[in-house]
Amino acid sequence: MATDIAPHATAAELPPPRTSVGPLAWLKQNLFATPKDTVLTILVVLFLLWVVPPLLRWAIFDATISGTTRDVCTFDGACWTVIKMRFGQLIYGLYPPEARWRVNLMAVLVVLSLVPLFLPWLKQKLLYGAGVLIVMPIVASLILEGGWGGLQQVETNLWGGLFLTLLISFVGIAASLPIGILLALGRRSNMPIIKALCVTLIEIVRGVPLITVLFMASVMLPLFFPPGWSIDKLTRALIGVSIFSGAYMAEVIRGGLQAIPKGQYEAANAMGLSYWQSMGLIILPQALRLVIPGIVNTFIGLFKDTSLVLIMGLYDLLGIARMIVASPEWLGRSIETYVAAGFGFWIFCYAMSRYSQRLERKLHTGHKH
């Protein structure tokens, strides 16, 4: 029988046809494949031709960056001189220039402390992370606030600019995960009191805008402390931001928890794992992985929302930008200042979003469901 069938010859390996490789083929496939594509491509190109050249002219060709005062500026192009002259303020706020090295030192310390989290051979990452979370705030307040051992004291109301934005978002982000996890677990708890507490907190915080939470934090928090105690504006803002982001994070994480099949809980229980062991080893690692995009979204939202601390009299990146715009020396150069501040926000948000994409891809290589 088998002899009746012609033996199956292995086809020779041929190079791909010329039309399917190279830049021309790419253009044809991606931009001009159908008449509709062609029309769209032409429209987009026309739009870009209309928008980009004036933008470039304003931002680069007709722009000024020399000089030190408003007098060098023209109204044809951007005047980056304002950014050059006030760059320090945009970054450090009103932090005294001679003490700015302390902010830089702190930034280096933060980056260094994060490095071990990316080392594949460090197994106790959670423990390490918790340690960092406890130690860092103490180190930060010692270095940044000073007032000991010859370090000049710098009141927190002088802190500002990108530095303050990063500080608040860092604290908010770092606090939001543990707070969010605890609230999410509490919301699914069998214990009615814990559940009710968590639901109430989450729903109240989520039902009001951050600006209200910040306002409540600045007005109401002092009521909880004994008279004579004062907590500074920054601490109040940090507490407000942490609770706010924690409540949002709780709902994101709850979504992940709900997506984990019941069988995972049962298998963990049947093996004799305790509640915290099954959460920490089985459920949360899977649930958090599922909601990375949501978590990063919350981070990005939080990062941008930090500008609302303005209402508490704190000057984050946007607050400083507004201050510069309002100053008599730079009156009228608001576009440049806001563009620069916006660019500052964008860089960090974009970096976060890229990092989350990488993380997702990395975590999904191991297993498919």
Partner 1 sequence: MSSGAMIQLDQVNKWYGQFHVLRNVNLSVEKGQKVVVCGPSGSGKSTMIRCINRLEEHQQGRIVVNGIELTSDVKNVDAIRREVGMVFQHFNLFPHLTVLENLTLAPIWVRKTPKTEAEETARHYLERVRIPEQADKYPGQLSGGQQQRVAIARALCMKPQIMLFDEPTSALDPEMVKEVLDTMVSLANEGMTMICVTHEMGFAKAVADFVVFMDKGEVVEQAAPTEFFGNPRSDRTRLFLSQILAH
Residues lying near partner 1 in the complex (CB under 8 A) are found at 261, 263-264, 266-267, 269-274, 277, 281-282, 285-286, 289, 366-369
How far is Cα of residue 218 from the mean position of the Cα atoms in its chain?
24
Q: Which is nearer to partner 1, 146 or 255 (CB)?
A: 255
Phi, psi (5° rounding) for residue 256? -65, -40
Smaller CB distance to partner 1: residue 44 or 267?
Answer: 267
Residues 6+ apart with CB under 8 A from 225: 231
Q: C-beta of 213: minimal distance to partner 1 in Å?
A: 34
Tokens of 335: 């576009």
- 265: tokens are 């809980």
Structure tokens at 185: 């677990």
Instruction: Look up residue 269 and give its amino acid.
Output: N
| CA 257 – CA 264 distance, rounded (Å) | 11
* Shortest reach from residue 190's CB to partner 1, in Å: 12
Q: How far apart are CA 309 and CA 168, in angstroms?
A: 9
Nearer to partner 1, 8 or 361 (CB): 361
Q: Which residue type occupies 356?
A: S
Q: Between 291 and 341, whose beta carbon lies closer to partner 1?
A: 291
- Helices 334-365 and 161-187 pack at an angle, to 10 degrees, of 40
Q: How far is the CB of 293 from partner 1 (least distance, A)?
A: 17
Q: What Å distances lie between residue 137 and 61, 238, 279, CA to CA?
A: 45, 11, 27
Measured from the CB of residue 273, what is the shortest distance to partner 1 in angstroms?
6
233/316 Cα distance (integer angstroms):
13
For the record, the structure tokens of 92 come out as 């450090």
- Rounded to an integer, what distance in angstroms lies between the CA atom of residue 285 and that of residue 255? 13
Q: How far is the CB of 363 from partner 1 (least distance, A)?
A: 8
Q: How many CA atoms lie within 13 A of 63 on its CB side?
A: 19
Closest approach of partner 1 to the CB of residue 128, in Å: 19
Pick the closer one to partner 1 by CB: 264 or 353. Answer: 264
Q: For 104-228, list the strands marked E by DSSP.
A: 160
Q: How many helices (H) and strands (E) does the chain have?
A: 15, 2
Q: Which is nearer to partner 1, 134 or 191 (CB)?
A: 191
The answer to whether the beta carbons of residues 165 and 316 sit under 8 Å apart is yes
If the CB atoms of residues 25 and 260 are measured against partner 1, the closer one turns out to be: 260
Least distance (Å) between residue 130 CB and partner 1: 18
- Name which of 269 and 327 has its Cβ closer to partner 1: 269
The per-residue DSSP string of 296-310 comes to HHHHHHHHHHGGGGG
State in angstroms the smallest separation of the CB of 268 from partner 1. Answer: 8
292 or 300, CB closer to partner 1?
292
Beta carbon of residue 284, minimum distance to partner 1 (angstroms, whole number): 10
Cβ neighbour number for residue 95 with a 10 Å cutoff:
22
